[in-house]
Copies of this chain bind each other. A is one copy, B any other.
Amino acid sequence: MRRRGYKVAIMDADITGPSIPKTFGISEMAKSNGEELFPAESKDGISIMSINLLLRDETEPVLWRGPIIAGTVTQFWTHVNWGDVDYMFVDMPPGTGDVALSVFQSIPLDGVIIVASPQELVSMVVEKAVKMAEMMNIPILGIVENMSYVVCPDCGKKISVFGREAQSEKAAAKHGLSLLAKMPIDPALASLVDAGKIEDFKGDWLEGVADDVEKQPHKEAE
């Protein structure tokens, strides 16, 4: 969405396993004026807030009980000065726990994208997530299949690493959802993520997702 010219923000709601800052090569701490926190900005101008921007040592584990974790997520919404943003993405941890509940209850989401591996797609884990979103009346934009395949660097064969072909289409159909994208495992992408340079990556697997996000009607946040 950033490449399409929008002002984009990412809220890293994975409090106990935050990975967004590292992916974008951000290591400074968040600034504050005493009342509000200000998100960090990535190389390409994406506003980012994560628990790791509030820790003096980013490898410090966050050993907090659920209510504190949930409170932190809520604060990321209420006490961060996000400025003028067209699209905000909220990165959530796996599962249907406290964080998902808090995000669903405290942030006026326009929709949810479920990201899962081919194996998770055929399992009940995704079904649980779908049902949770339905119970909380959050529209599901669709499914992104992650780790779909690997291309052999020697012979060019496209290997379905989890031994399944077309299973995700079936899973999407079963839940009445669109399959928005299939993301391969790409060593080049992995290296850029490790180096904090995800924005340098040129790949178009997510164009379908961007199209879909772009055409969603959205709620007004004040």
Contact = CB atoms under 8 A, between A and B. Distances in A.
Contact of A162 (B15, B18, B187): B187
Nearest to A123: B22
A132 B16 CA distance: 11
Interface residues of A, number: 60
A193 interface: yes
Contacts of A16: 95-97, 100, 128
A63 B135 contact: yes
Contact of A98 (B65, B122, B190): B65
Contacts of A124: 22, 52, 58-59
A64 B187 contact: no
A133 B169 CA distance: 40
Which secondary structure dominates where chain A touches chain B?
loop
Nearest to A151: B159
B97 A66 contact: yes
A166 interface: no
A67 interface: yes
Interface of A: 14-19, 22, 52, 58-67, 69-70, 93-98, 100-101, 118-119, 122-125, 127-129, 131-132, 135, 150, 152-155, 157, 159-164, 185-188, 190-191, 193-194
Given A17-B95, A66-B97, 19 more contacts: A15-B97, A17-B94, A17-B96, A58-B124, A59-B131, A60-B128, A66-B69, A66-B70, A93-B97, A94-B94, A123-B194, A152-B159, A155-B157, A161-B161, A163-B187, A163-B188, A163-B190, A163-B191, A164-B187
